[in-house]
Amino acid sequence: MRQAGCTLVLTALVMGLTSAPAFAERNLVPTLERSFDVCPDRPAEPMWMQEIPLRQAYQRVLVQDIYRAQNLERIVETGSCACEIQFPSWDAAEAVFRERYASDERWEMLQASDAYNRRANAARPAAKAICEAAGNR
């Protein structure tokens, strides 16, 4: 009798735990729209980057890495975390990509991405401190 009671309690517990995530998932509404609390008017990626074929996604990643490194370094250089410093147009990053990397092989672009990630990581602590002091993070 006692074992049957424990089995019922365990069954109810398992059923409750397994159905809760499904219920919560039904309340989520996915959206492709991105909204930001800080600097909501960020420029969109260039259209060619958004439409790039999956097999060439490493090109998009490289431009994103260039953009991120440039922006973090610019924050440190200027001492400002203003939105136009933090999120400028993509023109400068695109220009670097087209001038230096557009004709490179995939492995060369991956190496370049790694280098830009290292630059961004080096600048990130100082940029974060500047932005936190400005209340912009």
Residues 57, 25 share a domain: no
Residue 107 lies in a domain: yes
| Closest residue by Cα to residue 76 from 135, 38, 119 | 119
Full residue range of the structural domain in which residue 56 is found: 47-133
Which long-range contacts does 101-108 make (Cβ < 8 Å, 24+ apart)?
Answer: 101/62, 102/59, 106/58
Residues 114, 75 share a domain: yes
- Please give the tally of structural domains in the chain: 2
Residue 42 lies in a domain: no
Residues 105, 60 share a domain: yes
pLDDT in tens, 31-47: 556 667 778 889 999 99
Work out the average pLDDT over 26-30.
Answer: 57
Q: What is the pTM of this model?
A: 0.74
The structure tokens listed for 52 are 């790039």
Residue with tokens 């069954």: 11
| Closest residue by Cα to residue 56 from 115, 114, 106, 113 | 106
pLDDT in tens, 89-127: 999 999 999 999 999 999 999 999 999 999 999 999 999
Residues 78, 119 share a domain: yes
Q: Are the beta carbons of 68 and 128 closer than 8 angstroms?
A: no
